[in-house]
Structure 1
Amino acid sequence: MFGVKEAEVAELVRSVAGADLDRGGIEERFARAAWSGISEPGDSVAGELVATLGAPMALTALIDRWTPGAFLERLGSSNLSAGDIQTAVDRWMPRLEPGRTIVALRQAARFGARLRVPGDESWPAPLDDLGAYAPLALWTRGTEQALASLGRSISLVGARAATGYGEHVTMEASAGLVDRGYAIVSGAAYGIDGMAHRAALASHGMTVAFLAGGVDRFYPSGHDALLGRIVEHGMVISELPCGSQPTRWRFLQRNRLIAAASLATMVIEAGWRSGSLNTAHHALSLSRPVGAVPGPVTSAASAGCHKLIRDSLVTCVTSAEEMAELAPLDAHITRAGDEPASPRGDTSSASRNPTTARVVDALSSRSPRQASDIATRSGLSIGDVRAELGRMLLDGAVREGERGWTRRTESSEKRGQS
């Protein structure tokens, strides 16, 4: 099965699916598990191929080295071009190793993680609103009730470098929403996210954390105990297989899941370039209600919230009651349009040039890495990696040595001068 012993695949897939499956079900889950590691989160080309061809056939086509013309012939009516498909195949090929999926499945089984795919009874349907940008699979750890709670959830997001004011507002909002029957969704980061989860747990409510890496390695490490409690009483979710490391690019893509999974998103505290603004824009592109909490006009930590309010993009909210008004549990939530808008990013340089961000994430300032290794880590084609490294070399952002490429930093420059 896909170049791996069928008996081994069947045993591993059944162990993480939590159910007995026929051969078709095993193929579907193994293929989606493989795609979750081959493509980066939010890869719309992978999303369209899997949705149209089916995950098993799409994976077989990749293994059999179909030409772009063969893909287009099977796709029929599609907005994809031969160039789009060839570029995507080039970035997927460095990761096309069935053994990687076997390792991820073994790690998932070891940590008691579950693999969920579209069509499962427990699959969170709101994520399908992302269309071609929807996750191909979800890896989860936690209670089964947590997934059902997403249908009555509100996401609370904000700055990592939160102020005392921001944490106090978050605590009151999270506890107040739990008292009103809502579940709390966030990203388990330091600051606002962590406080949102803690307050929900302290109020004996349900909380769900979306991670930017595998569910087997909690990040940040300082929230190891908090994430352990979330697994006990709620759930941690990732679209990346076990063993995957979080990167800045993956944090930005993770934000679209936080926005899509919830009835509404509340930005408690956000600086001018906060990633929370990225989450707010994802929610807006999906026609989800968005609220922002105002802060002191002198506080840089609230500058992003004030910008959202000033631009009339969101509703100004100051309490759990006002947040609940944006997404009443007894109301019918309508979502405009059949075709989701392309997820919007924040205004940071990383989101303006995602290729650069992914290459930077894949580089080390100390350990030289070859272009092929950088391609595998970043999910880009070797050609794109080499072109980007060339541009970064001209800008002085990287250094090329006999053993490979390293990222230049201020500290590495000082070491080189000493």
Structure 2
Amino acid sequence: MTERAERQTALDLTAGTGPHTGPRTGADTGAGAVRAALPGEERLARVALTRLVEPGTTAVGRWLRSRSAAELIELVRTGQEVPELSLDQQRLEVLRRRLALTDPVADLERLRAIGGRFLVPTDAEWPSQLADLADAQPIGLWVLGTGSLRLLALRSVALVGARACTAYGAHVATELAAALAERGWVVCSGAAYGIDAAAHRGALAVGGMTVAVLACGVDVRYPRGNSELIGRIAEQGQLLSELPPGEHPNRFRFVLRNRVLAALTRGTVVVEAAVRSGALSTARRAQELNRHTMGVCGPVTSELSAGVHALIRGGGATLVTDAAEVAEQIGSIGADLAPPRDSRPRPRDLLHHAAAQLLEAIPGGPAGASVPDLVLRTGFPADQVRKELYGLCSLGFVQRVGSHWRVIR
């Protein structure tokens, strides 16, 4: 659709007429009338809806599962009651006034000017796993950055945690993100201070791909202290938001953002979180969506690890300590296995006490030690030293070189 056509369609949404329908009468604008929306019109209607309602509004989600956004916009514009949305006249009037101030074409142009785009569920780039959110599925997604979001999300993991994190938490998040990126995983987080920022930086440091799911417009650098980092993510990865350009975050939008982060990724790792940390809401949403939920153990004396510990102890998360263990949880069966932690006893551990003591007494290096030297070192009789040395030689621990014995393993 050309820009001129899009502008005309936007005017049609406000004026109530369109080149394909002609003027609408009272008979075809009722709540029960269903009119097929053109693809461009439906996209513009969804852009407008992102201005009218907050992310995750389930009543709107239920409507969109069976009817078009364009029809809903038309009903709001004409001020008709929409029983499915349970809107009283006062709320409907507020939406009408907000709709009059909305310019979806300008919003699209504003984002295109900086290289962004608006995705809807019918787009090939739309991540299909977001359908797991059911009625809370995003109306649309504003994306800034190159690459297919759908393909990036297929092998992605969320790393979340406390904003006021400890040095330990920041170190673990950075190392985990870097190692996961090196394994080909896309690291997702929220671009906030603390664990989020450490996760993004870890992925960027090794040339990896990272996606930031924001609680504001993708053209808004929030928090300001992470402005440079957010700019790097836009260049090397992607910025993603349900909110239109220019929108700023609030407390509730952060919580609503977390459901998208949980649904978008294969699993969520909570690196560090207090008992009432907002990061735990992402873990809870991941559990509800049957995603893998993992936690990193921290110092038992740290309040910032208490929430993670409670999550693990309650069975809500699997304990992970490195990227290999994370990949094993969320990767392909049999293809992303973590190396086994070998706790079996070593051959030296099976030696009886005298033989083990004698073996420890032999100095390293090619010179080794003579029998008289070992008698002095161990206090064992010479005959016992000789017997033990030959036993050790049979087991492949030592070898004789002239009158000396030296360790070979």
Cα shift at 1:88: 6.9
Return the letter of the residue paired with 1:253: L
Partner deviation per Cα, 1:243-278 (whole Å, 9 max, x = no partner): 111111101000001100000000000112111001
Which AA in structure 2 matches 1:188? A
Name which of 263, 266, 269 aligns with 2:266: 263
Question: Could you tell me which residue of structure 2 aligns to residue 51 of structure 1?
Answer: 65
Q: How many angstroms apart in 2 are the aligned matches of 1:10 and 1:232? A: 32
What amino acid sits opposite 1:25 in the alignment? Answer: P
Paired position in structure 2 for 1:247: 250
Distance in 2 between residues matched to 1:89 and 1:330, nearest whole Å? 51
Normalized against structure 1, the TM-score is what? 0.69
Q: Which residue of 1 aligns with 2:32?
A: none
Q: 1:396-411 to 2 correspondence within 5 Å?
A: none
In the TM superposition, residue 319 of structure 1 has moved relative to its aligned partner by: 1.1
SS of 1:99's partner is coil
Map of 2:42 onto structure 1:
28
> In 2, Cα distance between the equivalents of 1:139 and 1:265?
22
Query: 1:112 aligned to 2:126?
Result: no
- Superposed, 1:368-379 pairs within 5 Å as none
C-alpha contact 1:9 1:102 (8 A) present in aligned 2? no
Cα drift, residue 89 of structure 1: 4.2
Match of 2:286 in 1: 283
Q: Could you tell me which amino acid in structure 1 is paired with residue 38 of structure 2? A: G
Note if contact 1:112-1:141 (Cα within 8 Å) is conserved in structure 2.
Answer: yes
Matching of residue 133 in structure 1 with residue 133 in structure 2: no
The alignment partner of 1:245 has SS state of coil
Higher relative helix content: 1
1:8-407 residue pairs with structure 2 within 5 A? Answer: 8=7, 24-69=38-83, 72=84, 83=86, 89=92, 92-97=95-100, 99-329=102-332
Q: Is the 8 A contact 2:10 2:104 kept in 1?
A: no
The CA deviation string for residues 135-180 of structure 1, in whole angstroms up to 9 with x for no partner, is 0001011012454111100100001111110011111111111122
1:272 & 1:328 partners in 2: Cα distance? Answer: 29
Greater relative contact order structure (CA < 8 Å, 6+ sep):
1
Change (3 A) 1:59 1:84: closer
8 Å CA contact 2:127, 2:149 repeated in 1: no
Q: What number of residue pairs does the alignment pair up?
A: 308
Letter in 1 for 2:115: G
Deviations 1:276-303 (A, max 9, x none): 0010011011010100111111101111
Distance 1:166 1:122, change over 3 A: same
Q: Is the 8 A contact 1:146 1:206 kept in 2?
A: no
After superposition, the Cα gap between the structure-2 partners of 1:205 and 1:7, relative to the gap in structure 1 and judged at 3 Å, is closer
* 1:273 partner amino acid: R
Whole-Å Cα distance in 1 between the matches of residues 309 and 157 of structure 2? Answer: 21
What is the CA distance between 1:100 and its match in structure 2? 4.3
Q: CA deviation at 1:224?
A: 1.3
Matched letter for residue 60 of structure 1: E
Instruction: Describe the SS at the equivalent of 2:270.
Output: strand
Q: CA deviation at 1:128?
A: 1.3
| Cα gap change, 1:52 to 1:66, in 2 (>3 Å) | farther
Opposite residue 285 of structure 2, the aligned amino acid is H
Stretch moving more, 52-61 or 151-160: 52-61
Task: Decide whether aligned partners of structure 1 residues 331 and 127 sit closer, same or farther in structure 2, where only a CA change above 3 A counts.
Answer: farther
Cα contact 2:79–2:96 (8 A) shared by 1 = no
TM-score of the superposition, structure 2-length normalised? 0.70
The whole-number CA distance in structure 1 between the counterparts of 2:250 and 2:334 is 37
Q: Which residue of 1 aligns with 2:26?
A: none
Counterpart AA for 1:179: E
Letter in 2 for 1:40: E
Q: Greater CA deviation, 286-295 or 94-103? A: 94-103
Identify unmatched segments of 5+ residues in structure 2. Answer: 12-36, 336-409
The verdict on how the C-alpha distance between 1:36 and 1:7 changes in structure 2, with shifts beyond 3 A counting, is: closer
Cα 1:87–1:256 shift into 2, 3 Å:
farther
Tell me the percent identity.
Answer: 42
Aligned residues of 1:291 and 1:316 also touching (Cα < 8 A): yes
Alpha carbons of structure 1 residues 203 and 11: separation in structure 2 relative to 1, 3 Å: farther
Decide which structure has the larger Cα Rg and report it: 2
Deviates more, 1:171-180 or 1:35-44: 171-180
In the TM superposition, residue 329 of structure 1 has moved relative to its aligned partner by: 3.4
Q: In structure 1, what residue type is equivalent to 2:133?
A: L
Query: How many angstroms apart in 2 are the aligned matches of 1:316 and 1:253?
Result: 26
Q: 1:9 and 1:214 mapped to 2: Cα distance?
A: 25
Partners of 1:188 and 1:194 within 8 A in 2: yes
Mapped contact 1:34–1:98 kept (Cα < 8 A): no
